[in-house]
């Protein structure tokens, strides 16, 4: 697909801001043997109520009459234990992440198969975008007109230096004019929330 056709398409980042990650639900202890009922308004403002246990997540969504039911299945892990999966309510595909679409939560494919924001950009804009992402990862702001951020507390020196040299490579080819461009916040906000996953 050409870049022109991709422009204006939904991006993984925009959809991913409101998403259900089965591993996060598992870590939060929501997928246990007994039924949990909670109002997760802070994390998911459009979910009025979530009821869940080992094999099912039921969501009462704002402005939806019928609750959405998401089946959960488990596969064994290499090192013991089991990992959970959600089944897309529309196509039943097994996935770790469901994103929010008009009809409720579904897999990325059912949400219109979005592309990553960087796939819709020109080479220069992509470099700018990736460099902004790197700055967010080290706790800085998404701007290329300030010095690269200092190493954050708790980040290994080697990790920091790897990220900084990647940023230098990306940024050195950009003109001052491009460096001053405003960051693509609608897509970058995703990386603020999911700094560990990308």
- Report the interface residues with Zn ion, using CB under 5 A: 88, 90-91, 93, 106-107, 110
- Distance CA(108)–CA(105), nearest Å, equals 9
The H or E element containing residue 179 is helix 176-179
Residue 59, judged by CB atoms within 10 A of its CB (0-12, 13-18, 19+), counts as buried
Residue closer to Zn ion, measured from CB, 106 or 138:
106
> Do the Cβ atoms of 183 and 13 come closer than 8 Å?
no
Across-strand partners of 84? 74
- What's the closest the beta carbon of residue 89 comes to Zn ion, in angstroms? 8
Q: How far is the CB of 112 from Zn ion (least distance, A)?
A: 11
| Nearer residue to Zn ion within complex by CB, 52 or 70 | 70
Between residues 43 and 103, which has the closer beta carbon with respect to Zn ion?
A: 103
CB-nearer residue toward Zn ion: 87 or 127: 87
Nearer to Zn ion, 88 or 134 (CB): 88
Question: What is the smallest separation between the CB atom of 86 and Zn ion, expressed in angstroms?
Answer: 10
**Minimum Å distance from CB 77 to Zn ion?**
24
CA distance linking residue 96 with residue 186, whole number of Å: 23
In this structure, what token pair is assigned to residue 84? 């959970």
56 in Cβ contact with 131 (< 8 Å): no
Output the smallest distance, CB 109 to Zn ion, in A: 5
CB-based burial, 175-195: b 16+ in 10 Å, e otherwise: eeeeeebebbeebbbbbeeee
Least spacing, CB of residue 15 vs Zn ion, in Å: 13
Q: Which lies closer to Zn ion via its Cβ, residue 74 or residue 90? A: 90
Tokens encoding 128: 């700018």
Sequence-distant (≥ 6) Cβ neighbours of residue 181 within 8 angstroms: 125, 128, 144
């Amino acid at each position: 697909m050409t870049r022109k056709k991709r422009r204006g398409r939904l991006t993984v980042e925009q959809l991913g801001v409101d998403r259900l990650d089965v591993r996060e639900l598992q870590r939060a202890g929501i997928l246990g043997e007994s039924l949990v009922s909670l109002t997760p308004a802070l994390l998911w403002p459009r979910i009025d109520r979530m009821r869940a246990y080992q094999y099912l997540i039921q969501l009462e969504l704002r402005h939806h009459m019928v609750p959405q039911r998401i089946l959960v299945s488990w596969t064994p892990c290499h090192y013991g234990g089991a990992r959970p999966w959600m089944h897309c309510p529309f196509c039943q595909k097994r996935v770790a992440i469901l994103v929010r679409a008009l009809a409720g939560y579904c897999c990325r494919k059912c949400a219109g198969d979005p592309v990553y924001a960087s796939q819709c950009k020109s080479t220069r804009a992509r470099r700018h975008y990736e460099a902004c992402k790197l700055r967010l990862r080290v706790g800085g702001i998404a701007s290329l007109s300030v010095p690269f951020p200092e190493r954050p507390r708790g980040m290994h020196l080697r990790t920091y230096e790897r990220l900084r040299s990647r940023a230098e490579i990306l940024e050195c080819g950009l003109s001052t004019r491009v460096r001053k461009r405003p960051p693509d916040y609608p897509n970058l906000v995703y990386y603020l929330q999911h700094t560990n996953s990308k």
